[in-house]
A and B are shown apart, each in its own frame.
Chain A
Amino acid sequence: MLSSHRAANLVVVVGLVGVVLAAAETRKDYHFKVGRHASISILNQYGPVSVKAGARKEVIVTAILHSDKVEVDQDQRGSRVTLLSHLLPGADATTGLVEYQVLVPADASVTLHSATGPLHVEKLHGDVILEGSTANVDVRDLTDGHVHVKTLNGPVTLTNVVDGHVEITSLSGDVVLNAVSGPLVEVNSNSGKINYDGDFGGEGEYSLTSHTGDIEATAPGDASIDVTARSEQGRVVSDFSLQPKHTSFPIRAGSAFAGTVGKAASSVRLFSFSGKIHLKKRQTN
């Protein structure tokens, strides 16, 4: 009897806490009419931002504010929309948190800043610039645009990014690229691992470099690449039989390799100071 009474009390308390928390949250909706190639910028110190393709000439933003210690400042100049989470005195990572869900025209350019993130962007073909300290960055199904990502230790994942100019700098976050191709794909990492799984297509220049992070790249057996790999102190391995080529540095077995596969349409540079490098051939079933 006593325990059921306690349970009932517990339910009431939990319910009340839920009501209080829900009351502290505020949902705000914003609609902006924009033209072609709109530019959307969101600066959100604490909390996630998710951007997806929506209506052709409209930006729809849903912001959930977790307390009254934070406001959303908005500004529109033509097709340029800016939203800023404005922290009020006393705000911290919990009370200053704002969740953004954003629908933009597919051709829009998007700039997102958040310390904590996560940042998520998908199905766009405009430029995308994402910066976050510890933010987890997830980008998928992008075509054509420039994709620039900077994180301190937030992991970065790009999936199905085609014909893009991709530049990623992450100090200690792991970088994973799945089906990423284009004229320029560049990753600059410090201790984070770099993992590429794709076809190195688009007659592009691919450069994956790190200080201590391992680099693993997987390509199909019929890839068309001119590849150079080198690690000053780490082990370097290739599953491919390469046609030898001239390099500006001496090739030491196990620490560097260089050569071509197929017609060598794309240039691939895998460089690490002390990380391991492995160029893998994708197994076909």
Chain B
Amino acid sequence: MTCTEFERVLPDIIGGDRSFAQEQHLRSCSACSSLVADLNAISQQARSLQACEEPSPRVWNSIEIALRREGLIRQPSARALATVHTFPSRWRTAWLLPVAAALLVAAGIVRYERRGGETIAQQPPTATLASNHLPSVEATDTADDQQLLQAVAEKSPALKSAYEANLRNVNSYIRDAEESVKNNPNDEEAQQYLSNAYEQRAMLYEMALDRTLQ
């Protein structure tokens, strides 16, 4: 059995029975055996995720958009389905990367949400989600902000003031949201403010480091 033949029957093998020829090929081919091991690991992760709380549609949406943007997936079409077997060899297993990344991201989010929930339940009322899981603005290295502004100033001096003002606003939002979570640790909306504020900060950094946006 060749690697190509083996990969053709790969979907049936994962979590199912293997023929003698397939077992023999797996023993003799390190590439295919490592591929099967990876797929089994992903499959197990996926099963454990089923039991977890479903992440919000927004999470899946973001993953989908990111993969689509990278060109790793696109909207299904009859043509695409018809040509799926004509991918060049190096693309045969390329889909594993985004799938694994997506599963890891989802697993991380679910774990974070679970930890967040447990922490809120176990901590005294004055404890904060923010202080347990997210660094406060004061705690974060403000040198990062300075470094960022320096980088913006070097590439696009005209945009420095805009970045500076927005960074100040975002940090103020984080401080307000942290204070709100501190005062009302069980308030879901306060946690949402905090999440939004950090999302804004991440976006600002992403834009500042994106050459086409400066």
Contact of B212 among A114, A150, A230, A273 (CB under 8 A): A114
A37 — which chain B residues lie within 8 A by C-beta? 74-75, 77
A238 contacts chain B at the CB level, 8 A cutoff:
no
Bound CA span A3–B163, Å: 49
Bound CA span A43–B211, Å: 9
B99 contacts chain A at the CB level, 8 A cutoff:
no
Residue of B nearest to A114 (CB): B212
Whether A232 and B180, one on each chain, are in contact in the complex, defined by CB atoms closer than 8 angstroms, is: yes
**Cβ proximity bits A190-222 to B, threshold 8 Å, 1 near / 0 not:** 110000000000000000010110000000000
Whether B173 and A271, one on each chain, are in contact in the complex, defined by CB atoms closer than 8 angstroms, is: no
A148 contacts chain B at the CB level, 8 A cutoff:
yes
Knowing A153-B166, A188-B199 are in contact, say whether A248-B176 is a contact too (CB < 8 A): no
**Cβ proximity bits A110-128 to B, threshold 8 Å, 1 near / 0 not:** 0101110000000000110
A80 contacts chain B at the CB level, 8 A cutoff:
yes
Bound CA span A271–B61, Å: 22
Bound CA span A283–B184, Å: 38
Whether A150 and B165, one on each chain, are in contact in the complex, defined by CB atoms closer than 8 angstroms, is: no
A274 — which chain B residues lie within 8 A by C-beta? 176
A113 — which chain B residues lie within 8 A by C-beta? 210, 212-213
Knowing A93-B158, A131-B207 are in contact, say whether A146-B65 is a contact too (CB < 8 A): yes
A181 contacts chain B at the CB level, 8 A cutoff:
no
Whether B189 and A80, one on each chain, are in contact in the complex, defined by CB atoms closer than 8 angstroms, is: no
Residues B111-128 near A (CB distance < 8 A):
none
Chain A interfacial residues counted at CB < 8 A: 49
A248 — which chain B residues lie within 8 A by C-beta? 187-189
B69 — which chain A residues lie within 8 A by C-beta? 111, 129
A260 contacts chain B at the CB level, 8 A cutoff:
no
Contact of B65 among A126, A127, A132, A134 (CB under 8 A): A127
**Cβ proximity bits B187-214 to A, threshold 8 Å, 1 near / 0 not:** 1110011001101100110010011111
Whether A211 and B213, one on each chain, are in contact in the complex, defined by CB atoms closer than 8 angstroms, is: no
Q: Which of A5-13, A22-30, A59-67, A163-171 makes up part of the contact surface?
A: A163-171
B78: min CB distance to chain A, Å = 8
Contact of B200 among A134, A167, A169 (CB under 8 A): A169
7 A-B residue pairs with Cβ-Cβ distance under 8 Å, sorted by A, are A36-B77, A37-B75, A45-B212, A113-B212, A184-B58, A190-B170, A211-B169
Closest 10 A-B residue pairs measured CB to CB? A211-B173, A113-B212, A43-B212, A171-B166, A37-B75, A190-B169, A188-B196, A133-B213, A115-B213, A36-B77
Contacts A45-B214, A153-B166 known; list 19 others, CB within 8 Å.
Answer: A35-B77, A37-B77, A45-B211, A107-B75, A109-B74, A109-B75, A115-B212, A127-B65, A129-B69, A134-B162, A152-B166, A152-B204, A165-B61, A184-B58, A190-B166, A211-B197, A248-B188, A273-B176, A274-B176
Q: What residues make up the interface of B, taking CB atoms closer than 8 Å to A? A: 57-58, 61, 64-65, 68-69, 71, 74-75, 77, 79, 156, 158-159, 162-163, 165-166, 169-170, 172-173, 176-177, 180, 184, 187-189, 192-193, 196-197, 199-200, 203-204, 207, 210-214
